[in-house]
Structure 1
């Protein structure tokens, strides 16, 4: 029980950071929105599942990579935390900048013509895996929950928990944004949402950089 209490706050903070990252529309979210609006719910859901699968792959690779790095170089945790904290500050800056911008989100259909459900699934996976910022995002997320000497169940909890959340949230996006009115509603609330995200990312970055372990 003591071990769970030691690592649970970090795991929960990693979940929160992941949810905040999903709430800020990036190329993957906009692709899900645009596909649901232009093609249909089933295609949007297929694309969403592909994106969630890509997130799971990145999470597994990050946990394994960080675990191996920490096992070989204990002091590497400091560098990882600095990198993750700076990236969270960068996300905070982008969120605040988006909150002050007057431009609405632009959800468009994917280029390249219509696809089969498997085609959208594969495209969603490719979109997520070829996102150059995904590695930094996952380093920041995993670093919030991983402490030096953390047992393997901590990393597994973060990976499985974020995978479940990823499936749920991305599918919800596909269902909700199958009508243009939802994009309009989201766009009107964009400034409040982005401002809140900026505050959360700032807090998470400070938390990561000032943690002792």
Structure 2
């Protein structure tokens, strides 16, 4: 039975990873904090954001499962919405590649140590309205009308691990100006690749069994 959902789970993981390669405000805050305040503060912020991502994933999974139990046909709408959202991400990535837009790094400074930065990161992620749309798109890649609960559980658990590792990697690797400058030089190529992948993922949702 696992083989039936393996491809969808992999694509869901891929979308999550590619999303992390396309730095938004959360990633920029980690990079900026690591550079301006220190690597340890950046790591604390990263762990808070990763925890928030896991919570969003868990809430979305349980909420989506409850809704589909009552309204089975809702998955069709969710998949269409997920495909449109991924197309929007693809458009933004391609637009960024064409314009050559560079990322703007901005750090966060709070009074206190690890706990304060962790809580700030958690708050940043939990108040991010785009997180719900992102998770709906990710889960719709792995789920269909007959998918058991454990399929979504694998996606949430796996992306939780990826989120911790990935956000910490940003805090550690991008805590120096040369690394940030190197990323900026390659950003147009990265954005182009991200646009292509998000387009592919949108196509996978749109052509999957609804």
TM superposition score category, shorter chain reference: over 0.9
RMSD: 1.0
d(CA) in 1 for partners of 2:3, 2:187: 36
Match of 1:102 among 100, 103, 108: 100
Report the equivalent of 2:21.
Answer: 23
Report the equivalent of 1:143.
Answer: 140
* 2:86–2:198 contact (8 Å) kept in structure 1: yes
d(CA) in 2 for partners of 1:60, 1:90: 24
Runs in 1 of length 4+ with deviation above 6 angstroms? none
d(CA) in 2 for partners of 1:106, 1:20: 19
Measured against aligned partners, the alpha-carbon deviations of 1:114-167 in whole angstroms (never above 9, x if no partner) come to 442111101111111111111101100011011112112111100100000000
Report the equivalent of 1:176.
Answer: 173
- Give structure 2 stretches of 5+ with no counterpart: none
Q: Secondary structure at the match of 2:129?
A: coil
d(CA) in 2 for partners of 1:203, 1:115: 44
Match of 1:166 among 163, 182, 193: 163
Report the equivalent of 2:209.
Answer: 212
Give the C-alpha shift of residue 205 in structure 1: 0.4
Measured against aligned partners, the alpha-carbon deviations of 1:83-142 in whole angstroms (never above 9, x if no partner) come to 1010000000000011112331111112x5444211110111111111111110110001
> Does residue 38 in structure 1 map to residue 26 in structure 2?
no
Tell me the TM-score normalized by structure 1.
0.96
Report the equivalent of 1:62.
Answer: 60
- Equivalent residue pairs, number: 210
d(CA) in 2 for partners of 1:98, 1:128: 23
Report the equivalent of 2:190.
Answer: 193
Tell me the TM-score normalized by structure 2.
0.97
- Give structure 1 stretches of 5+ with no counterpart: none
d(CA) in 2 for partners of 1:163, 1:113: 26
Q: Secondary structure at the match of 1:166?
A: helix
